[in-house]
Amino acid sequence: MTQATSAKAWIQTRHGGRFNLLDPGARDIHYKDIAASLSKLCRFTGHVSEFYSVAQHSVLVSLLVPPDDALWGLMHDAAEAYLGDIATPLKNLLPDYKAIEARVEACVFAAEGLTGSMPPSVKQADLRLLAAEKLALLPGSEEWELLAGVRPAPFAITPCWSPQHAEEMFIRRYDFLWR
């Protein structure tokens, strides 16, 4: 990567920051930017019956995991605030994207003091919530191999959070976890 390429690979964040996609820095990560962006990103690339944000999904994942893993749960999709929510089948076709996503995830996790690997409880909660979301938001869709044997999360998914409410709930959850 040349310096000229890196200089052109940035986005403006909601609160006035500049985030370099190829050379992310922890100083460029702010949870309020993450909350603002994820609250406006729709799950399933928008192929749902009603708007349901990545922020709402993230808050729910953080509530499904053990308390010690809750910040991991809240931040598990935070890279999407900077990269967008790209469907997993497309991500799997884009190795360069996956490398960029890994760098951004590592940067976000480091900025939040999350060290080591993501706890298995987060991936399990993410899958359980995905199973519940599929039932609620994509009724009648075919079975997904990824969800074979996965027990859905134990609560109903109601896509009733507006983007403003989802942003507020994400921030509240974050602030609660940092008390």
Q: Are 43 and 52 in contact (CB under 8 A)?
A: yes
User: Options 3.40.50.300, 1.10.3210.10, 1.10.730.10, 1.20.1420.30; which CATH number does 14-177 get?
Assistant: 1.10.3210.10
Q: Are 56 and 173 in contact (CB under 8 A)?
A: no
- Give the integer Cα–Cα distance in Å for 179 and 177: 6
Q: pLDDT tens digit string along 55-106? A: 999 999 999 999 999 999 999 999 999 999 888 889 889 989 989 999 999 9
Q: Return the SS3 of 19.
A: strand
Closest listed residue to residue 46, CA positions, set 73, 13, 6, 85: 85
HSE-CB of 168 using CA atoms within 13 angstroms:
5
- Give the integer Cα–Cα distance in Å for 134 and 163: 20
Determine the pLDDT at residue 2. 54
- Give the integer Cα–Cα distance in Å for 148 and 85: 23
- Show the tokens assigned to 137: 């938001």
Name the one residue in this structure whose structure tokens are 């009724």: 139
pTM here is 0.91
Q: pLDDT tens digit string along 102-159? A: 999 999 999 999 999 999 999 999 999 999 999 999 888 888 888 999 999 998 898 8
Q: ∠ at Cα 143 (142, 147), nearest 5°? A: 145
